[in-house]
């Protein structure tokens, strides 16, 4: 089983999240993608953050795909950091080939994530192109540190079976939607 893990606040979930997910399913040859609705990003303010349950319910409305599962597992486990979630899942599901999915905007601060080097050692990573971030992630500190583990884009379908560290940058149609802009009333979902 090949499962993509797409974590975030999903505050709110929108069709850009779904677009990234459907692209990952197709380009990486995944069987499923789990949306990991986080209790709150440690690098962002949690002021006025709706409950995990409310965000999961709203994300379910957007996901509407038989191969997308929305989960609040991080809150249920009582974890705050991606590395904790990945440790748990890779131990609990040893036969599953997990892939971490993140937007290109997240790669620019990935080096600030708790245990980012361990994350790269636990699962392969797919970086999805985002408007305004097509070139900047490749100069990110984490991208430099993991440069030798980069997989050519035309081999993206092999990412789930590669031993970590391994990562790919996927270009393609990008969604301009942003949860921050939606919250600020600048774009529709």
pLDDT for position 137: 63
- What pLDDT does 131 receive? 73
Residue with the two structure tokens 């380009």: 27
pLDDT in the model for residue 139? 81
What domains can you pick out in the chain, each with its CATH number? 2-184 (3.40.50.620)
Its pTM stands at 0.89
- The rounded distance, in Å, linking the Cα atoms of 146 and 120 is 8
pLDDT at 187: 47
Tokens of 176: 């301009």
Return d(Cα 66, Cα 158) in angstroms, integer: 23
Whole-angstrom distance, CA of residue 36 vs CA of residue 85? 9
Residue 10, pLDDT score: 95
Mean pLDDT by 10 residues, the chain (189 residues): 96 93 97 95 73 97 97 96 97 97 90 96 95 70 94 98 97 60 52
């Amino acid at each position: 089983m090949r499962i993509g893990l797409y974590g975030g606040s999903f505050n709110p979930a929108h069709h850009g999240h779904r677009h990234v997910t459907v692209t990952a399913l197709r380009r990486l040859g995944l069987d499923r993608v789990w949306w990991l609705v986080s209790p709150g990003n440690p690098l962002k303010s949690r002021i006025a953050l709706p409950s995990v349950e409310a965000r999961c319910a709203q994300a379910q409305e957007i996901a509407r795909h038989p191969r997308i599962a929305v989960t609040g597992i991080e809150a249920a486990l009582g974890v705050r950091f991606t590395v904790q979630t990945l440790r748990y899942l890779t131990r609990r599901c040893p036969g599953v080939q997990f892939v971490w999915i993140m937007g290109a905007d997240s790669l620019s601060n990935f080096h600030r994530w708790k245990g980012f080097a361990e994350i790269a050692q636990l699962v392969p990573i797919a970086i999805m192109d985002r408007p305004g971030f097509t070139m900047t992630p490749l100069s990110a500190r984490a991208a430099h540190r993991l440069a030798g583990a980069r997989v050519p884009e035309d081999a993206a379908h092999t990412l789930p079976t590669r031993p970590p560290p391994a990562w790919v940058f996927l270009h393609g149609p990008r969604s301009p939607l942003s949860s921050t802009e939606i919250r600020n009333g600048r774009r529709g979902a």
